[in-house]
Each structure stands twice: as structure tokens, then as C-alpha cells.
Amino acid sequence: MTATEETAAESAPEKPLDWLGQSIKRKEDDRFLAGRGNYIEDIDLPNMLHMAILRSPYAHATINSIDTTEAAALPGVVAVVTGELLAQHNLAWMPTLSGDTQAVLATDKVRMQGQEVACVIAEDRYVAHDALELIDVDYEPLPAVVNPFAALEEGAPLIRDDKEGQTDNRVYHWEAGDAAATEEAFLEAHKIVAVDTHYPRSHPSPLECCGCVADLNPASHRATIYMTSQAPHAIRTVFALVTGLPEQNIQIISPDIGGGFGNKVPVYPGYVVATAASLLLGRPVKWIEDRTGNLISTGFARDFHMKGELAVARDGTMLGVRVKMLSDQGYAYADAQPSKLKAGLFHIVTGSYDLPAAHVVCDGAYTNKAPGGVAYRCSFRVTEASFLIERLVQSAAVELGMDPAELRRRNFIQPEQFPYTSATGFVYDSGDYETAMDMALDKAGYGELRAEQERRRAEGGKLLGIGIATMTEALGAGPSRDYDILGIKMFDSAELRVHPTGKAILKLGVRHQGQGHETTFAQIVAHELGIPPEDILVHEGDTDNTPYGLGTYASRSTPVAGAAAAMVSRTLREKAKKIAAHLLEVSEDDLEWEHDHFSVKGAPSQTKTIQEIAFAAYTNHPMGMEAGLEGVHYYDPPNLTFPFATYVVVVEVDPETGEWKPIHVVAIDDCGVRINPMIVEGQIMGGLTEGFAMAAMQEISFDDDGNCIGSNFMDYLIPTAWETPHYDLGETVTPSPHHPLGCKGVGESATVGSPAAFVNAVVDAVSHLGVTDIDMPVTSAKVWEAIQGAGAHA
């Protein structure tokens, strides 16, 4: 080596000592950007058949008969599967994640438009689709139940007449909080403000729809099922229980997934029929869902009708909140959420406020719509709760004539109150809400904005509106004592193996769909063991080759699996210490750990790096110690984590046409310690965009006959780059006291919290005209109607 080269080497940028908090580029992006991802559609097996699904055009109808003769006779068609055939194998119905039942293929009746009625299995997908047109189904239409309130009225047509003992359309009744204490608090109120609103049915609509390739090998009796699943391990267990196949013979592989947002948590009929067909035919069967199938039949989100009331004292002190909520469940109760909590975490409706009393009454109703209620980029119904309380606070500010920021400030849970037990029983781990809000208001230039708003109101033209939402989320399910899905506890796991050359593979029970796990979790191990992230392969999504876990949704991966990755790394570090002591011929007590090596106290030149130790673990380990450097950790979190944020949205509203657009969006998020800030910011921007989408345009609605309006992207609107606002981000850091790294979840915060900020902003812009509420999605037409209506009553 020449002198010049030495200098160059010395001045080269040093690798960071600690990988925590580094915005390194995403390891997984190389293959995605190069078009080398491996999605379900990319999987082609020899001798593979293709499946297409015939769906019901009616929302509610009796099936008199299904004639498949002509379809079965079409050249290239191998089989036509109906509910009758599945019933012979006891597979016509399947359990949902909420313990209800859902039809795989309809037998007696169809109960939603788009319900799966029959499947064609053919040599190619064109033939399969041609054959669908040849199936003759004789339907007898029944009255469709579209409105959940009407569904619960006496005399409403009974939707689930297949269920023994089900005499009406009620799914559940569930309460949280203290009714008596809340009544008392309301008696003390100076004012009671009310918000009656519908959080519209929306759909996660990931870029990739659902699909699977089921391959049941008739010789080995192994079922290898490639599918778009956010929770492959749970799916394996459900499949074992439903089909009776021995669990060791089921391998679920979730290859690269093109977005999930909760939509890919449940089991859908397509998966089951393809698997059954492969079993019956002895050939692999591929099913790729189309966009309409995805939008009309798979897990929707939200659809809560909420009546909230907030009791406030004369000085603005919040005294209590009470809520009546009716959930429109569709024809099956299929929420993907902890089984004990009928309405998920909706009872976190006290938000960021020190609310001494709360009472939440929840009912669920069957309707002739698709089942679901998945956690669409949210932690089990936190989104609906956050929206309601923030709309209530906005209304209270108007009623009291107080500034909405000041009203919030007066009622925040204070930093010294943590851990804080809420009126509905959550134990908030940590928070500092006022600091985050002040930072957001400052960034938005709040004081000047109010002056500008007044000036514009006086001068005419476009109006200015300022919307604030402060958000506290509860995520990272769960402590297993409280959270399970169908009895399976919501822990998660990590298995770490360090190879002789000091490179490692980390296997996890979760399954990412774009969240950046391959980078973030490598950074966690890098932080704990000093192995650079590029030397760590993160492996997920294959049940044969990863430890058990409940999957990736509800912002639980970093709080649970991330903690498991840290803990297993620490276990390995303990073993590494023993090996280092052996190699350096000192006692363990004489060693200290620094970033990536052990050194002897007082003799810092005597060191062993993690790579040297890993090599020794296979070549020179102490007598009596097991060889190797690997371990597995199942992490059961002691509590949820409670990230928080303040969102401030500034909008311009055209009072003549109702058109509005955000001109400044500020987001101050606190998710505790950030592992990869770039990935966190990406999550927040994505979350804000989906929050904006829900506030502005996204809705799956139905006409009176139960026809789905929103079955394609012409009717179900997703914002483009053109509509999407620019985002102004900031952060505060309040570590979680119980997570090994101080992290909280973040993937969903902005989706949960920001819709209220957008709606509050539009309502604020036109509040001087007498407008107090506009339901989502806030379309220009609704703004115009609200202004007209307010004018008429003024």
C-alpha cells in the first residue's frame, strides 16, 4: 500500500458507530426498482391451472339453481366448483377472524353484491373467464338491507338465517368505560357539544390485489400455498383447523407483497377454493384477483356511524365523553382484530386529553355488504376514535368561543401524568403533547394565519381554514394477556443466526408489504451486535423457515417483532461475551462491549470483534459450550405503545363552488426513537396521503338496492400526485419506557390522525357562515351544500 492510498483510506467516510437513527437506503429497493421483485403473479409452476370467480350481481337473493353444464363443456375447462361441491367436503363456509362464519361459495343465498358463487378452473385464464359467462344462476332477488339502522329495526329481513339462533341482524353489543360516572360528569357540564357523523366505508385498495398459487402435492401430501398474506403463520394455523390438513404439511409462503394496509390479513374465499381445487385435481391452481373483485368483496375498513358528546366546563375543562356507535359490518363479522375487543380499540376515544369520565356503547349490524372491518393502516379502529374526539374538540372550541389550540392545551394529559390510565382503561406509556403541538403551530405560523383568515373573510374571495388534530394512538398488540386472535396470543418472534464469517440471517414471524423491514430490522441487529446492516439478511414470509408470529398490521412490527430482534441480539451478545472471554483468556467481568467488539477493561488494545467471535463460535468455542451463534426470542410486550402527533392543515376554500385544497400540511410526529428516520418519514408521508384521501374523496357507497358504488378506480377515488399536498414534517422524541429500544409504531399514525385535521380545516374556513359539520369525504359538492344549508338557516 502506498502512502497516498493510506491517506485516502483514512479520509474515507467512516461507517457509523451506531446504526440506530441512520437514514440508510432501503436494502429491498434494489430488486423492486430493477423490476426483480417476486410477486404472486410471478409464480408459475409446471402444470398449473387458472381459476376465475363468478360473483353475484345481487346484494341479496335466493339461489334457486346453478347450471354449470355449458361452462364445464367449454374446451379447456377442467372443473367448475360450486358451493354444493364444497359442502360435500364441509368447506362451503369458513370461520372469519372475528369468530363468525362467511360463505366460501354461496349455497342457499347470496348476501352481498360480488359474493363468490362459483369458480372455474381452466387450462388458461382466458378460457376460465369465458366459461364464467356460460354459468347459469337462477336468482330470486330478496329485499336488500343497506342501512345498518334499518337492519336493526323490527321486521327487517333476516340476513343470517343460516345461523342457528340468529333472530335479528345484530352482530354484537359492547360497552367500555363507566356509564354512571359519565352521566354524573355530564350533569356538571356548562356545555355539551355533539357530533353525529359517519366515518365512511373505505377500502385499503393495495396496488397489488389478492391472489394465490395453491400446490397440493398428491404424492408428498404437502400443501405449499403461495399467497398475498400479511400474517402467514396465523393463516397456516387457520388452514390446518379449517381443512384438517396436518399443520406440518402446510407451508404458507408470502412472497413480495405489493401493499397490504390491512387488506391482506383475512382469509378470502379465493384462497380456499384454489386450495380445495388443487387438492381435488392434484395440480397447482393459480388465482389472481382483479381490481373489482378486490374492491367489492375483500376487507373494507371503517363504516362507523358515531354519535359523540363532549361535556365541558365554562373554562373549557373537559369533563366527560360519551359515544354511541353503530358499525356496519356487512353480511359477516370479519373484523381483523383482537377477539376480546368487539369494536377493536375504539374505546381510546378520550384521545390525548385528561378526560376523567367516558362511556362508549358499540353495536354491530349485519347488512348486505362485503364483510371486513380490517385495520386499514390503523390499529384496530383507533382511526374512527381519533376522528370523533378531534371533531368534538373542534366543535367545543366553536361553542365556547375558544381557540381550538388553547382548548387542547388546557386538557392535554401532562408529561408528569405518565403512565396515565385513561377512563376506558388504557395505560398510556409516555407523551409530551404540548411540545409537539407548539412545534406544529409554530411551523404553520398559526398566529398570522388567524389574522389572514379574518382579512380574507372581510375582503371576499377564497376563504382560509385552519384545522388542528392532535392524535394519540395505541398500537403494538399486544400484551398476550389482553390480545389474541381466535385464541392465538399476539406475541411475535425473531430468530437470529450469525454465520462463521460474521454475516447473519434474521428470520421473523411478521411479513412486510413495503414497510422497509429488511432495512429497519437489520439496523436493529446492527445496533445491538455491530454487524453492518448490509451483512444481515432479513427473511420473512415463509412458515417453514421463520419462527411463529401474528404478522404485520396495526403498526405492530417494530413494537413487537422489532423488540424480539433486539432481545435475541442481546442473547447472542451474552454468548459472544463468553466466547470473547475464552479467546482473550480473561473473565467475562473484565470485558466491556462497545458497538461491535469486546475489549478488556484497562487494556483497550485487547479486543475481539463480533466477526472474530462468530468465527470462533464455529471453530474455537470453549469446551462445554454448544457451538454456533444463534437464538430465537418470542417477545410478549408488557403494554401497547402510544405514539402521538399534531397535524395542522391549512386549506383554501372557494365559497362559490365548494372546491378546496390544502395549501400547508404540518405533521409533528413522536414515535419514540426512530431507527431509520428516512423510512419513518416515508411512512408519515404515505399516511398523510391516505388521511387526505379519506377526508377528501375515498368512499365505498351503495345504492338502495345494495349495488356497490366504488367497484373500480373510476368510482373509488385515490389521489394522484396532482392532488396530494406537500408535507412539512417535524418530530419530537419521547421514548417508550418499555420497548427495548424506546420505539413506538409509526406506520399508521398519520392516517389515524390527519383526517380530522383536514375536515376541521374545511369546517373552520366556512364556520363564520354557520357551518358546523361536513361528513367525509368532504367533496366540493358537500361543502357547497353545507354553505347553502347554513345560509338558509341563518
- Compute and round to an integer the Cα radius of gyration of the chain: 28
Q: Is 123 in the site for other proteins (CB under 8 A)?
A: no
Q: What is the 3-state secondary structure (H, E, C) of 165-180?
A: CCCCCEEEEEEEECHH
The contacts of residue 505 (CB under 8 Å, 6+ apart) are: 496, 497, 499, 536, 537, 538, 539
Q: How far is the CB of 53 from other proteins (least distance, A)?
A: 9
Query: CA torsion sign, 284 to 290 to 293 to 294?
Result: positive
Q: Per-residue x/- marks for other proteins, 633-662, CB under 8 A?
A: -----------------------xxxx---
Q: Is 606 in the site for other proteins (CB under 8 A)?
A: no
Q: Which stretch binds other proteins (CB under 8 A): 288-296, 298-306, 482-490, 569-577?
A: 288-296
Cα end-to-end distance, the chain, whole Å? 86
Distance of alpha carbon 440 from alpha carbon 446, whole angstroms: 9
Q: Is 130 in the site for other proteins (CB under 8 A)?
A: yes
Residue ranges of E strands in 429-558: 463-472, 484-485, 488-489, 492-498, 504-508, 536-540
Active site residue 748: yes
Query: Hey, what amino acid is at 46?
Result: P
For other proteins, the binding residues in 135-194 under the rule CB under 8 A are 141-147, 150, 155-157
Residue 286: strand pairing partners: 50, 213
Active site residue 394: no
Q: How far is the CB of 454 from other proteins (least distance, A)?
A: 25
Active site residue 212: no
Cβ atoms of 331 and 371 within 8 Å: the answer is yes
Q: How far is the CB of 387 from other proteins (least distance, A)?
A: 21
Residues binding other proteins: number (CB under 8 A): 57
DSSP state of 239: H
Question: Quick one: 128 or 614, whose CB is closer to other proteins?
Answer: 128
Q: Binding residue for other proteins (CB under 8 A) from 586, 673, 697, 729?
A: 697
Q: Is 75 in the site for other proteins (CB under 8 A)?
A: no
The residue from 111, 283, 322, 377 that is catalytic is 377
Active site residue 133: no
Q: 155: how many CB neighbours lie within 10 A of its CB?
A: 7
Q: Which stretch binds other proteins (CB under 8 A): 9-17, 340-348, 470-478, 708-716?
A: 708-716
The contacts of residue 358 (CB under 8 Å, 6+ apart) are: 176, 177, 178, 182, 320, 321, 322, 323, 347, 349, 350, 422, 423, 424
Q: Is 59 in the site for other proteins (CB under 8 A)?
A: yes
The residue from 22, 230, 611, 698 that is catalytic is 230
The contacts of residue 330 (CB under 8 Å, 6+ apart) are: 112, 300, 366, 367, 368, 369, 370, 371, 372, 373
Q: How far is the CB of 716 from other proteins (least distance, A)?
A: 10
Q: How far is the CB of 294 from other proteins (least distance, A)?
A: 9
The residue from 378, 671, 708, 743 that is catalytic is 378
Cβ atoms of 338 and 165 within 8 Å: the answer is no
Joined together, the cell numbers standing for residue 336 give 381483523
Q: Binding residue for other proteins (CB under 8 A) from 61, 370, 393, 469?
A: 61
How many residues belong to the chain?
Answer: 794
Q: Binding residue for other proteins (CB under 8 A) from 175, 438, 705, 773?
A: 705
Q: Binding residue for other proteins (CB under 8 A) from 101, 571, 707, 772?
A: 707
Q: Is 76 in the site for other proteins (CB under 8 A)?
A: no
Q: Is 789 in the site for other proteins (CB under 8 A)?
A: no
Q: How far is the CB of 706 from other proteins (least distance, A)?
A: 6
- Cα–Cα distance list, 757 to 452, 527, 665, 722, 775 (Å): 19, 36, 9, 20, 13
Cβ atoms of 599 and 609 within 8 Å: the answer is no
Q: Is 64 in the site for other proteins (CB under 8 A)?
A: no
For other proteins, the binding residues in 714-773 under the rule CB under 8 A are 714-715, 717-720, 722-723
Distance of alpha carbon 461 from alpha carbon 722, whole angstroms: 23
Q: How far is the CB of 253 from other proteins (least distance, A)?
A: 24
Strands 727-731 and 660-670: parallel
Question: Quick one: 603 or 709, whose CB is closer to other proteins?
Answer: 709
Question: Quick one: 47 or 657, whose CB is closer to other proteins?
Answer: 657
Q: Is 57 in the site for other proteins (CB under 8 A)?
A: yes
Q: Which residues bind other proteins (CB under 8 A)?
A: 54-55, 57-61, 125-126, 129-130, 132-133, 141-147, 150, 155-157, 290-293, 296, 656-659, 697, 701, 703-707, 709, 711-712, 714-715, 717-720, 722-723, 779-781, 784-785, 788
Active site residues: 230, 377-378, 748
